[in-house]
Structure 1
Amino acid sequence: MQEGTLLDRTNIDYLPDVLGDGFKKSTLSLKDDYEGKVVATLIRRKSETTSSKAILYVHGFNDYFFQGQMAKRFNLIGYNFYALDLRKYGRSYGSHQKLNNVRSLSEYDEELNLAVQIIKSEMNNQVILMGHSTGGLIVANYAGNHLNSDLFHGIICNSPFFEFNLGYFKRKIGIPILSILGRYFPNRMISSRFSKLYGYSLHIDKYGEWNYSLAWKPFEKPKVNLGFIRAIHKAQNNIKNRLVIDVPIVVLHSNSSIYGKHWSEKFKAGDAVLNVDHIRTYSHKIKGAVTIYGIENGIHDLFLSREPVREKVYQEVFDWIDRNIKLSV
C-alpha cells in the first residue's frame, strides 16, 4: 500500500449528505479510467462520544450506502462510521459511465486506500472493514492483498459474494468461459439473472420497510458487462485458492436460500440472491482467524432483515468485535 501518498494530494471537505441526521460526505477525486472521470464518495457519521475506533462499510452490487440505522447502531457502541459509495455506484455515478463497470476488483484499491488513510488521519487507531455481498468479496480480497497493514484490524463480511448462484455446469464451465471472453470483450452485455423480488422484500413501496433511491438501487439490474463477470470470477478464485488474511474475519450469512419467480412472504426469511451453502463452503477456504455465523430467517443483507433477526445480527457482530478486535494504539 502506498501509504502517505494518496492523502497528500487530496483535500477532504465534508458536506451535508442526502441522509441528513449527522451524515456528511466527501467526494474523492480518482484517476481517470477507460470511461473518463472517476470519483468515489466517503460518507461519515461520527459517534457522539469521543472515539478512536471506526467502521468502513462497502456496499454490494446494484447498491449504495443508505443504511442509516446500521451506522447509528455502530455509533452507539462507540464507533465512528464511514461508508464508501464506490466508483460508478450511487453518489459516485456519472452519466458518462456504465453502472458497476470495472474490469478488476483491484480498481477499487484506489478509493479503499484513500478512505482508510483518511480515517486514520482523523485519529482512528482501530478500523474494521465491513462489506456486503460484492462488498464482502472486495474487502476480503483487499485484506488478502494488503497483509501486515496498520490501517485496518478486522473484516466483517455480510453475505459475501464468494460464488455465483448458478447450477454446477454454469458455475464450472459457463462462468470461466465468460470470464475469458471478458478479457477481450469487456463491454459486451449479458443477463444478470438478478431477481426483482429481493428488492420487493426491502423497499417500503412494495413489501419492505426501507426507503432508498430506486434510481441508485433499482429493483432490477437486467444486464451486466463481461468485464464485471471476469472481475468477480478472478476475485472468487482467490477465495477458493485459500486466500490468506492476517486479521480476524467474521462471515455472516442466512441459514437458507430462497428461490421463486413470484412474490411470497418467504422472501423475507432467506437469502434470495446467493446460495448460502456456497458462502459457507468457501468461507472455510480462507486461511486465517475465520468465524462463520448462520442467521436463522436472515435475508441477503442481514442488517435489513426483520427486526428480531437483525437484532440477532447486531449482537453476533458486536460480541465478535469484543472478543476478537483489540484497540491499536
Structure 2
Amino acid sequence: MTQLSPARNPSADGTPTPGGTAAASAPAAAKPASDSSKALYGGKSSRRVTVRDIAAAKERGEKWPMLTAYDAMTASVFDEAGIPVLLVGDSMGNCHLGYESTVPVTMDEITILSAAVVRGTKRALIVADLPFGAFQESPVQALRNATRLVKEAGVGAVKLEGGERSAHQVELLVSSGIPVMAHVGLTPQSVNAYGGYPVQGRGEEAAQQLLRDAKAVQDAGAFSVVLEAVPAELAAEVTRSLHIPTVGIGAGIGCDAQVLVWTDMAGLTSGHVPRFVKQYANLREVLGGAAKDFAEEVVGGSFPAKEHSFR
C-alpha cells in the first residue's frame, strides 16, 4: 500500500496507522450502533433521512446502502425497501435517456426527474447530481443550479464531481445552506478527458492526489464523498483518513457506504456492465418474458378475457 499522508486516523481497533496519530478533529474509532432503531437501514424512524443522520452513522461505524433512482415508481419501491439515500444521478444519461455518456444530461432533465423521485418517496434522503456544465464555470453558477434543484425539485442535497478543483463550489453551496455530496476518483463527466473509464489512484502520485481531493472537499464542507473506481486498499485508507463518510462504487469493502446504479443492480442493463457490479436480479429477462406472454395472448385472442372486460 502506498504511503498516503504523514498523519492518519486510528484504525478500527484503535491502533494508530503508520505515519502518526490521528488529527485532533478526527472522530474516535467507530463502534457498532448500540441502538438499532437509529440505523439508517432497518431503523424505526419514518421521517426523512438528513445529513445529520449520515454523520451519526459514520460515528456508529454503520455501513449503509445507496441506489440511484430516476422516477417516482421505482423510487417508491426502494424507499419502501428501506434504502436510506437515493441518488438521482446523471447516470440517467446512460441507463434512462439513451445517451452514450452522462455528458449530455441537462439541468432540465435532472430537475424533472429529481422532482419525480422526491414525490415518490417519504423517508429517503434524495441527492441530485449537478450535471456536466452546471457547476464548472464558477461557484456562483453552481449555487444557481443547486438552488434550482432544492427549490424546484425538493431534493435534500446535491452531488458534484471533482476534488480540489471543485472545492470552492462545495464551500459556497454549503455556506449557503445546501448539503453537498462530493465525488472523486473516476468522475464520469470527464470521460472525454480520460478517453474512457480507467481506474483512478494507482501509483504513489495518483494516490496522493486522490487523498488531497478527498480532504479538499471534506474541508470545504461536504457531508460525504463518493469514491469511484479506486483500488480497494487506497479507498480504505482514504476512508480512515476522513471524518465524513465515503460511498464506494468500485472501491472495495472498506468504504462506509456502497452505491450502485439500480438498473445494473437489478439486471436490467444490457451488454457489458462494470466489474464492480453485482446483479441481484434479472429484470431484463423478467420484463422481456412478461412482454412476450402479453403479446402472444393478444395475438392468440386469449387477452382480454371476460374478467378483463366491462359489461
Output the TM-score relative to the length of structure 2: 0.28
Q: Higher strand fraction: Structure 1 or Structure 2?
A: 1
Output the TM-score relative to the length of structure 1: 0.26
Which structure's CA Rg is the greater one? 2
Q: Higher helix fraction: Structure 1 or Structure 2?
A: 2
